[in-house]
Amino acid sequence: MDDLYREQILEHYKNPHHFGEITDADITQEGDNPLCGDVITLYLKLDDGRLGDVRFRGRGCAISQASASMLTDMIVGKPVQELKSFPTRELLDELGIPISPARMKCATLSVNTLRVALNGDSHEEED
Amino acid sequence: MIEAKTLNVEKVREDFPILARRIHGHPLVYLDSAATSQKPAAVIDVMDDYYRRYNANPHRGVYAISEEATAAYESARQRVATFINAASPREVIFTRNTTEAINLVRYSWGRANVRAGDRILLTEMEHHSNLVPWQLLAREVGATLEFLCIDDQGLLQLDDLARKLEGVRLLAITHQSNTLGTINPIKAIAEAAHRAGALVLIDGAQAVPHMPVDVRDLGVDFYAFSGHKMCGPTGVGVLWARRALLEAMPPFLGGGDMIKRVKLNEASWNDLPWKFEAGTPSVAEGIGLGAAVDYLGGLGMDAVRAHERTLVDYAMERLQDIPGITLYGPRDPELHGGAVSFTLPNIHPHDLATLVDREGIAVRAGHHCTQPLMDRLGVPATTRASFYIYNRADEVDQLVNGIQKAQKVFA
């Protein structure tokens, strides 16, 4: 039963990385997933074309919150131009568990919110 | 004295082919009948038989198989009418589902009768299907919505019912909450509404499958329900309404079958119920619903209700022993239909549903199409286990075991 919720996911869920707010964030973006009632807010601080700092707040299922925590580790310090098309696949690989179609919106909430934050829309990339 | 029937659950289970399935290596434990029920072979077979032996468009075909299709479809309507004790099958309008039945009333009766400044009274526990249509009607005609509140056990607060009914044209209320399981005292509420001059519409989607429903005894004006939650197929539902109301109402959808005489610039309407059934109906589905009411009638709806009452009572007792659990809905099993909602600390309902699915247990997690109720309860979502005629007490035990395993994962 517990192979779906690997230790790493539960660890991120219980002790999320980059959890909190940035009061003088350059971009603040909310995202939600009506299916689970998951919500997250991303705070992005830009620094000379790079993502200088990132924080998030949120509540919801373990998949959505752990994936947000993992995403922040993957994107901090990266060039903003690159992050505008951050591949969803990379985050799903990092999660490392099979995500059923019903739970895909949970798993991708954070990366979709990042995309809206940086591009102003939610066009999901094709892959 | 006639002895009350009791449900033989093992025999019932043999009637449902899907219960032979294994899910992730475990027997299917289906605890989501409030979303849709499983189907007995008797229902599947009559639909299959229609398509194999007498598939034809009913009403007006003068050849044998069309006449057979007409007879089967109209016989189903007659049996549905008997099942809910309608005065006549003419009062039984086949729709697509409960949602369409409620929207029929919104478009037909609502637009003709609800005016600017009128009030529509609803409750905090309504399914979106008995809320959003009235929001749309209110916006369209300039009416306002009022709401009956619930208490912390999920019971309607009726102390101020008379005051809230002032100026109300329509009271639209669920018979049984799909999320809390609360069974509302419809007869008393309908009496109060009529004293105040309001009409009463009941969302019976969670009631007709689970308890005896007598629309005339309830004293309501409109009653809507779905076939697929009561052993029937998807794609067929029912609007029952008092005949005088239906006679006075303008048509809903226009097209074939609902007319008597059509000229280029005008038309006259068919008799009830066909006035409200434009286009080729869901024939197989109607016939399937007829088989479903035969099946439920054979079990006896008192026996169905008694069986679910026992299960809910047991589920509430077992679940309340789980550390940290919050149970929603009435504590009195007399007022609690076959759905139990709960939340656990530190485990989101969707994570729980995903984990118990690995054990073959199907429960629903989410807002259950009752977002305002979730706001009222102060949670984003709940897990809901809902029971029906084929569920056994040991399936409650399996759910409890599944929850305990999930708690270990999240400990």
Q: B11-59, pLDDT tens digit by residue?
A: 999 999 999 999 999 999 999 999 999 999 999 999 999 999 999 999 9
Which residue in the block uniquely carries the two structure tokens 């899907």? B18
Is the CB of B365 less than 8 angstroms away from the CB of A103? no
Mutation target vs B (from A36, A104, A105, A109; most B CBs, 10 A cutoff): A36
Supply angle C-alpha B148, B149, B153, rounded to 5: 135
Mean pLDDT of B230-252: 98
Taking contacts as CB-CB distances below 8 angstroms, the residues of chain B near A4 are: 354-355, 358
The shortest C-alpha distance from A64 to chain B (Å) reads 10
- The span from the CA of B381 to the CA of B377, in Å, is 9
Q: Among A18-32, A33-47, A67-81, B145-159, where is mean pLDDT lowest? A: A33-47
Sheet holding B144-148, edge to edge: B92-95, B237-241, B222-226, B199-203, B168-174, B119-123, B144-148
- Give B143's contacts (C-beta < 8 A, 6+ positions apart): B114, B115, B116, B117, B118, B119, B120, B137, B169
Taking contacts as CB-CB distances below 8 angstroms, the residues of chain A near B381 are: 36-37
Is the CB of B348 less than 8 angstroms away from the CB of A100? no
Whats the size of chain B, residue-wise? 411
Residue A97: band (very low, low, confident or very high) from pLDDT cuts 50, 70, 90: confident
Q: CATH assignment of B44-298, given 3.20.20.80, 1.10.8.350, 3.40.50.300, 3.40.640.10?
A: 3.40.640.10
Mean pLDDT of B281-286: 98
Peptide bond into B380 cis (omega under 30): no
Residue A122: the pLDDT is 57
Residue B151: the pLDDT is 95
Q: Which helix (H) or strand (E) holds B367?
A: none
**CATH class given for the domain over B9-30+300-409:** alpha beta
- Does position A2 have pLDDT exceeding 70, yes or no? no
- The span from the CA of B229 to the CA of B38, in Å, is 8
Is the CB of A62 less than 8 angstroms away from the CB of B365? no
What are the sequence ranges of the domains in chain A? 2-119
Residue B346: the pLDDT is 87
- Average of per-residue pLDDT values in chain B: 96
Residue B3: the pLDDT is 57
The shortest C-alpha distance from B98 to chain A (Å) reads 22
Q: CATH assignment of A2-119, given 3.20.20.70, 3.40.50.1970, 3.90.1150.10, 3.90.1010.10?
A: 3.90.1010.10
Mean pLDDT of B404-409: 94
Residue A127: the pLDDT is 41
Q: Which residues of B15-49 are buried (b: 16+ CB within 10 A; e: fewer)?
A: bbeebeeeeeeeebbbbbbbbbbbbbeebbebbee
Q: Which residues of B touch A (CB under 8 A)?
A: 347-351, 354-355, 358-359, 365-367, 374, 380-381, 402, 405-406, 408-410
- The span from the CA of B383 to the CA of B169, in Å, is 35
Residue B235: the pLDDT is 98
Residue A33: the pLDDT is 85
- CA proximity to A117, closest of A60, A58, A45, A69: A45
Residue B404: the pLDDT is 96
Is the CB of A10 less than 8 angstroms away from the CB of B409? yes
> Which chain A residue is nearest to residue B403, measuring alpha carbons?
A1
Residue A120: the pLDDT is 83
Question: Quick one: tokens of B7?
Answer: 């449900």
- Does position A1 have pLDDT exceeding 90, yes or no? no
Question: Which residues of B are the active-site residues?
Answer: 369
Q: Where in chain B is the domain with CATH 3.90.1150.10?
A: 9-30+300-409
Which of B366, B408, B409 is nearest residue A36 as measured by Cβ atoms? B366
Q: Among A25-39, B323-337, B376-390, where is mean pLDDT lowest? A: A25-39
Residue A124: the pLDDT is 53
Phi (first) and psi of residue A48, to 5 degrees: 55, 50
- Does position B310 have pLDDT exceeding 90, yes or no? yes
- Does position B234 have pLDDT exceeding 80, yes or no? yes
Per-residue pLDDT reduced to its tens digit, B326-385: 999 999 999 999 999 999 998 999 999 999 999 999 999 999 999 999 999 999 899 999
Per-residue pLDDT reduced to its tens digit, A84-96: 999 999 999 999 9
- The span from the CA of B79 to the CA of B297, in Å, is 10
Q: Among B253-267, B275-289, B311-325, where is mean pLDDT lowest? A: B253-267
Supply angle C-alpha A22, A28, A34, rounded to 5: 120
Residue A126: band (very low, low, confident or very high) from pLDDT cuts 50, 70, 90: very low
- Does position A36 have pLDDT exceeding 80, yes or no? no
Pairing of strands A50-59, B222-226: unpaired
Whats the size of chain A, residue-wise? 127
Query: Judging by beta carbons within 10 Å of its beta carbon (0-12, 13-18, 19+), is residue B203 exposed, middle or buried?
Result: buried
Within chain B, how many helices (H) and strands (E) appear?
A: 15, 17
Taking contacts as CB-CB distances below 8 angstroms, the residues of chain A near B350 are: 35-36, 61, 63, 103, 106
For residue A33, give the 3-state DSSP assignment. Answer: strand
- How crowded is the C-beta side of B392, counted as CA atoms within 13 Å? 13
- Could you tell me if B367 and B381 are in contact, meaning their C-beta atoms sit under 8 angstroms apart? yes
Give yes or no for A61 touching B (CB within 8 A): yes
Give yes or no for A101 touching B (CB within 8 A): no
Can you say how many angstroms the Cα of residue A52 is from the centroid of all Cα atoms in its chain? Answer: 16
Mean pLDDT of A82-110: 92
- Chain A / chain B CB contacts < 8 angstroms: 54
Per-residue pLDDT reduced to its tens digit, B93-124: 999 999 999 999 999 999 999 999 999 999 99
- The span from the CA of B291 to the CA of B288, in Å, is 5
